[in-house]
Amino acid sequence: MRKPKNYWNYNTCCAEAKKYSSRNEFKHGNETAYRISKENKWIDDYDWLKPQLNLLTYEECYELAKQCVTKADLKRLNIKAYRISFNKGWIKKFDWLLDGRFFDSNGGKKDKSQKEPNFVLESKKKSHNVYVYEFEDKAVYVGLTATRRIKGRIKEHLSSSPVSKYASENNVRIPEMKITFTDLTPLEASIKEGEVLSEYASKGWKIVNIAPTGCLGSFLHGSWTKERCIEESKKYKTRKEYQNGNQSSYYAARVNEWLDEFTWLERRIRPNGYWNYEHCFEEAKKYQLLRDFRYDSQRAYQVAKKNDWIKDYTWLKRQLSPKGYWDNYDNCYQEAKKYDSRISFCHGNSPAYQSARKYKWLDDYTWFKYKKQKPKGYWTYETCYEEAKKYKTRTSFSKNCNRAYLVSLTNDWLKDYIWFNNNTIKPRVT
């Protein structure tokens, strides 16, 4: 039960503390009473509470700190000593400890330019595998994926991929996924995939792959080859415009280290500390909406927000609708004209959609396209049977007409759809 405001005074905190035998129990049993007692220094009066044991003294922390060069070294050496020194303010007295963000364990200054970004570090992990699907009619699909995505990749190949498409078109079973190579970096996996595919092609196997080999899937945006990235990047003048205009293409070019070859893209490098009050002010003048400032000039916005300068940019509008604005029929009607369906209206402007739904105005938006719903009780055995005939696999049936599939599953009618039986074997990882 929630306590009333100002309930925790000295007497109530003292009475609460008597329920516990140690400070640690008190802290976990009633955090609010413990915090107020500690802030008001009443906790020293609760002499029946045993203090925390095994706390390091100043001298012990001092001796441990003497063995270290940076604060990070002390944290690695003894996390408890570091936390106690930090909380009690002793860390400031250990003035020989350097900041680990700027100095290494030998006392040398770190070169930030040598620090590899996260996407480069990610590309060095040996976390990728090469796999194959060998069909009974001597067709093969070769792919690559990260270890953590193997199960997801199997599900994809069962529903919407060249593997499932080939199986349904040729009326053959989907074979088991075979992992041929493991523990590869993304680049090694890309090369190995091409070698495996070439080997199968030389033996006369039919290749099921649609995309060219060497694609690194979701990791390196494999559909963006170097040629396509070059073509896409020529639409922009700067790297920033390229990144905002097509993130997936930009990311692929960045990971594959092609950006330096795109000499037509200007790269604006600002010196450290560039974003001071004057520069942020001038940058903010380019925009009318705070949202545009936040998205188009992220670094300037972050610095301005951190230093509380945004309040000085009085011309930046927040674009908030006044209270009750979407309770007006005409306002919702004009907003709804921007969309062609209820779902796009909902995603595009949720407050306006919710008001239109609340006041039952949605039926007036006659230009909205929507699927005609079946009447209640429509899905009988006969209608489900006829609907199921349109599909070759259970997966495609479930995906395209989920309601009929669920009714069939609930009533155990799926066993009667015998044309599904050829494509229901689930692959296993070997």
- Asked whether residue 184 carries a pLDDT value surpassing 80, the answer given is yes
- pLDDT tens readout for residues 309-324: 988 888 887 666 777 8
Confidence of residue 427 (pLDDT cuts 50, 70, 90): very low
> pLDDT tens across 114-163, in order?
444 444 445 567 788 899 999 988 899 998 888 888 888 888 888 778 88
pLDDT at residue 27 in the model: 83
pTM score: 0.31
Instruction: Give the per-residue SS3 of the chain.
Output: CCCCCCCCCHHHHHHHHCCCCEHHHHHHHCHHHHHHHHHCCCHHHCCCCECCCCCCCHHHHHHHHCCCCEHHHHHHHCHHHHHHHHHCCHHHCCCCCECCCCECCCCCECCHHHCCCHHHHHHCCCCEEEEEEECCCCEEEEEEEEHHHHHHHHHHHHHCCHHHHHHHHCCCCCCCEEEEEEEECHHHHHHHHHHHHHHHHHCCCEECCCCCCCCCHHHHCCCCCHHHHHHHHCCCCEHHHHHHHCHHHHHHHHHCCCHHHCCCCECCCCCCCCCCHHHHHHHHCCCCEHHHHHHHCHHHHHHHHHCCCHHHCCCCECCCCCCCHHHCHHHHHHHHCCCCCHHHHHHHCHHHHHHHHHCCCHHHCCCCCCCCCCCCCCCCHHHHHHHHCCCCCHHHHHHHCHHHHHHHHHCCCHHHCHHHHHHCCCCCCC
**Tens digits of per-residue pLDDT, 77-121?**
888 888 888 888 888 888 777 665 555 555 555 554 444 444 444
- pLDDT tens digits along 331-386: 899 888 888 788 778 877 788 888 998 888 988 888 886 656 678 888 899 999 99
Better-scored residue on pLDDT, 426 or 354: 354
